[in-house]
Structure 1
Amino acid sequence: MQRGENAVNTFRYRKRSAVEATLLTVVMMCVCEWEEVVPDDCEVFVTVSQSGGCHITVKLSIRYGAPVLAVCRQLQQQIAEEIAAMTPYSAESVDVTVKRLVAP
């Protein structure tokens, strides 16, 4: 492995805080409930602010034929509600991006 490569991997795979890990778990629980979403092809990014809020970004794949906009809107709402119910944090933003459509 080259020296530059190692530096990138060290940064990319830094250890998550307990808060980040908890919020990630809550988000993935929500994502896994949707049969229209492919959970194995999902990326979640969590940013926690000092004020007790968090910003969630979810990049996912949806099965072809699913109502994409409706799924994304409902998933945004569900994630925000579950974070508020299960943690002392509030989701200031939940951004959902569809990376690709997957054949059924």
Structure 2
Amino acid sequence: MKTIVRFRKLSATQATLLTIVMMCLKDLNDIVIDDCEVHVAIEEDCLCTVTALIVIKRGVPIISLCEQLQKHITEEIEAMTPFTVDKVHVVVKHLAM
């Protein structure tokens, strides 16, 4: 899995949030983990925005998988950290065979 954070080193907070998101991605067998990218933006007042660029196996219902992933990421971050998830963007890069 590719992890990209721009303009500065990875903070402990960002690393924690990225780890939680990667665990959520690994929970779903319909996602090809090796080709995924995750971006986390931390805002003021303990808000964060997550962007996950994913590769889905062909034949999987895309919309329901993305909705499930958004909900799962939000629940896990809010349960394990003091952060509130402002947005979870799920971008499907392509379908895998």
> In the alignment, what sits opposite 1:21?
15
Q: Which residue of 1 aligns with 2:82?
A: 88
Aligned amino acid, residue 43 of structure 1: E
Alignment match of 1:77 (pick from 71, 84, 87) = 71
Report the TM-score when normalising by structure 2: 0.91
1:45 aligns with 2:39: yes
1:1-45 Cα deviation digits (max 9, x unpaired) = xxxxxxxxxx95842000000000000000001010011111000
Structure 1 segments of 4 or more deviating over 3 A? 11-14
Distance 1:40 1:13, change over 3 A: farther
Gaps of 5+ in 1: 1-10
Shift of 1:90: 1.0
Partner-residue secondary structure (3-state), 2:32:
strand
Identity of aligned residues (%): 46
Extract unaligned runs of 5+ from structure 2: none
Q: Distance in 2 between matches of 1:31 and 1:53?
A: 21
> What root-mean-square deviation, in Å, do the aligned CA atoms of Structure 1 and Structure 2 show?
1.4
